[in-house]
Structure 1
């Protein structure tokens, strides 16, 4: 059914998951195809909690096999056993949103701006890196989540992924070399910064240059498109709900007053026998936990179609004043875990939180934001969600 002409061919990830759920129920097993492992899929948040609670000290999170293949096999000459955080399992383990998130991540990962938001002699190279990071997620969805024979032989799509990762590695290695050269020059000139003022990259380089390079690669691959997509959603909500935007702006202005202030799918390998939705599931089973349909479900989110940010605030009511906060609030916290849970939760959570909060606060302080276009099917689902509509935001300068 995944082959040309099949029922599931050419569906994006969200549509594919929903179609299979409709055909096979809320919990079902997809048998291993073309060398891939079998996968149990569940939409029950109670199952999510069981899986996360049973993950143990060293969780096994599948879903990055192609990235691991690149590091263990294709470019073993460079990585030499240093696999990084993203694919490792077990104990070894200019008002342009996308450009802004890459610039922000690069400050942490590479200790420099890349020049995407201003003219720079490195802009062409930085733009290439930006597109490569997006391509990584698109091809990953085909290799990791859809039937693919790449585990059996080197398919064209696998080689495309290897080329993407090779080029990302080449560009990032060049930036790392520049950082090393700059730091060595500063050391010769007697520049010494206190530890608390040293960048993440500077601290990592003191440990090992290879580790620093791989960590930078992981941070950029994990934190650019994910953050830009999230920020797009954050922007669309107040833009389409001006009354909520006004309330948020008022709160932002109070907080920033007087300051010089000018940012979906979990897979887990069960570590022990478990019971999911009444079924006995043996240890070692790959479990896919996809809450896509739950996020718009009245069962878990009362008045799910309405933008009600007050649902996340204690002791608040909705716009009519008729629905107490305890009725609006999420009943099961495992329905919404964008950064995951436990030892393998996203290592960039605090950076992303800060990036999103500072980004939206700065925009609301300086602009009124509008989006006078349809938001139907605003996102498409690959390995992550990507904006699927032109982002034609209207920014109007505020008097303040």
Structure 2
């Protein structure tokens, strides 16, 4: 992570925006510089400027180098998987770009997934690509069908009990890990366990069923579902954006063979699970009596057609593992490394969930304002998506340069979010920044387009309400049950495709009943 107008007219968002665009379009054309005049690093044959992204694999270092060397507007030409791309650093340009992207925003990426679905497995997917890979009218048509199902607040509220149950089961597993360690630290693969919890949580929503990923002895199949999807995302980075990308599929390299094998496994397993869930619905005598409001997300999706249901289920499972898992892991680390924040959050959680109960309700969630600030601050410092990319749907002027239709524009949100220009003590974990009325609040002083973890506008993350529900329930329960500590060097963060913790998440847990 939006209303879609199924028409080709570019819809501007606000009157103020219309005025801004009108001014931009009537500027003296001699003042506007050509696209080829945009400064940037050397572009080599085949790999273009991709060599720079390899050299500066740290997203913040790349942003800092580009900004310091070339200014507020700079170009990375002939990037593998993208083509010519412009990086913009001025928040006014960023806001103008997003507010003028129209009803059908375009982006690039996930070419390998698109090829697998619509060329190799056309018998399953037909011509439907899904939200990850499609653009223009196919994307708009798809999103218009799933928006009313997944974007409504009541959809997330339907799953509060199930999400509580999954979180309880995972915390029980976490307790077992704690007791298995002489120093009560989580194992080196605890992040993988968190990813399994994330898959189990989204599985409840997408398929109305428990997948068994966090059972004490999970089946090999349920274990592989989580691990294969994580590997698919890692491989996608190489297959779509690395200097090797042009050769992987063309020469059927081992990484492409493994990618196809894992996609086949995941696709076939989801088809099987959808058939099981469909039979369950069809054999339920009470299904016909359900109102539309009471139907689950899966029950509503299946009425949109089998292929759409399959594609959206795959997209939900794929997008709901690594993203939710990485954010939750980062929150646990930041709470462990910032005990003052953890103590303040625990006070809020204890007040909202008094006594021995830790069942998180809709009403108690509304009281957890500091928890939401903790999540937002985590996504500022460690967003799973370190940048947003849009492909221009028309010629625009940004920073005095003409950006032609079809060119990509990259907004380096992670770099901007860690800049002192936008946040005071930007590297400090300080949730109070997001608390309205708090003396340390920066809501009024910072442009909201600096940090946008769920994107913006019609193309914002469709699962943001569900992801926030899963994260908030899990973190509230963890904070109420354990004191969380960190006894190692500061965590390393980095990205392959998605950004997040890189070192083993060896948090130390102490049950609060022991204190």
Shorter-chain TM-score above 0.5: yes
User: What is the aligned counterpart of 1:170 among 268, 274, 299?
Assistant: 268
Residue 77 of structure 1 is matched in structure 2 by: 123
1:100–1:266 CA distance, 2 compared to 1 (3 A): same
1:171–1:10 CA distance, 2 compared to 1 (3 A): farther
User: What is the aligned counterpart of 2:457 among 322, 339, 342?
Assistant: 342
Give me the whole-angstrom Cα distance separating, in 2, the residues matched to 1:314 and 1:24.
36
Give me the whole-angstrom Cα distance separating, in 2, the residues matched to 1:364 and 1:191.
41
Task: Give the deviation of 1:102 after TM superposition.
Answer: 1.0
User: What is the aligned counterpart of 2:319 among 222, 227, 234?
Assistant: 222
1:75–1:291 CA distance, 2 compared to 1 (3 A): same
Structure 1: tracts of 5 or more residues without a match: 319-324
Give me the whole-angstrom Cα distance separating, in 1, the residues matched to 2:204 and 2:445.
35
Residue 384 of structure 1 is matched in structure 2 by: 498
Residue 204 of structure 1 is matched in structure 2 by: 301
Give me the whole-angstrom Cα distance separating, in 2, the residues matched to 1:46 and 1:163.
45
1:51–1:8 CA distance, 2 compared to 1 (3 A): closer
Give me the whole-angstrom Cα distance separating, in 2, the residues matched to 1:375 and 1:165.
35
Task: Give the deviation of 1:303 after TM superposition.
Answer: 1.2
SS in 1 for 2:293: helix
**In the alignment, does 2:477 pair up with 1:362?**
yes
Cα deviation, 1:20-51, whole Å, max 9, x if unaligned, reads 62665553222226675222223333332122
Give me the whole-angstrom Cα distance separating, in 2, the residues matched to 1:74 and 1:111.
28
**In the alignment, does 2:87 pair up with 1:41?**
yes
Give me the whole-angstrom Cα distance separating, in 1, the residues matched to 2:247 and 2:135.
20
217-226 or 390-399, larger mean C-alpha shift: 390-399
SS in 2 for 1:38: strand
Task: Give the deviation of 1:16 after TM superposition.
Answer: 7.6
SS in 1 for 2:128: coil
Task: Give the deviation of 1:107 after TM superposition.
Answer: 0.6
User: Does the CA contact (< 8 Å) of 2:326 and 2:500 recur in 1?
Assistant: yes
**In the alignment, does 2:106 pair up with 1:106?**
no
SS in 1 for 2:78: coil
1:204–1:361 CA distance, 2 compared to 1 (3 A): same
User: Does the CA contact (< 8 Å) of 1:13 and 1:382 recur in 2?
Assistant: no
**In the alignment, does 2:423 pair up with 1:301?**
yes
Residue 394 of structure 1 is matched in structure 2 by: 508
SS in 2 for 1:105: helix
Residue 140 of structure 1 is matched in structure 2 by: 236
User: Does the CA contact (< 8 Å) of 2:491 and 2:502 recur in 1?
Assistant: no
Task: Give the deviation of 1:329 after TM superposition.
Answer: 5.9
Cα deviation, 1:125-180, whole Å, max 9, x if unaligned, reads 11111111111211121233334215993552444433332221111112112212
Give me the whole-angstrom Cα distance separating, in 2, the residues matched to 1:11 and 1:353.
31
Give me the whole-angstrom Cα distance separating, in 1, the residues matched to 2:287 and 2:110.
43
Structure 2: tracts of 5 or more residues without a match: 1-43, 140-172, 175-192, 361-374, 376-384
User: Does the CA contact (< 8 Å) of 2:203 and 2:211 recur in 1?
Assistant: yes
User: Does the CA contact (< 8 Å) of 2:358 and 2:480 recur in 1?
Assistant: no
360-369 or 254-263, larger mean C-alpha shift: 254-263
TM-score (normalizing by structure 2): 0.69
**In the alignment, does 2:249 pair up with 1:126?**
no
Aligned length, in residue pairs: 388
Task: Give the deviation of 1:186 after TM superposition.
Answer: 2.6
Task: Give the deviation of 1:19 after TM superposition.
Answer: 7.7
**In the alignment, does 2:62 pair up with 1:17?**
yes
Residue 58 of structure 1 is matched in structure 2 by: 104
User: Does the CA contact (< 8 Å) of 2:80 and 2:242 recur in 1?
Assistant: no
Give me the whole-angstrom Cα distance separating, in 1, the residues matched to 2:69 and 2:262.
35
Give me the whole-angstrom Cα distance separating, in 1, the residues matched to 2:341 and 2:81.
50
340-349 or 220-229, larger mean C-alpha shift: 220-229
Give me the whole-angstrom Cα distance separating, in 2, the residues matched to 1:78 and 1:294.
41
SS in 2 for 1:365: helix
Task: Give the deviation of 1:193 after TM superposition.
Answer: 4.2
Cα deviation, 1:234-270, whole Å, max 9, x if unaligned, reads 1111111111111111111222236661682211011
User: Does the CA contact (< 8 Å) of 1:367 and 1:398 recur in 2?
Assistant: yes
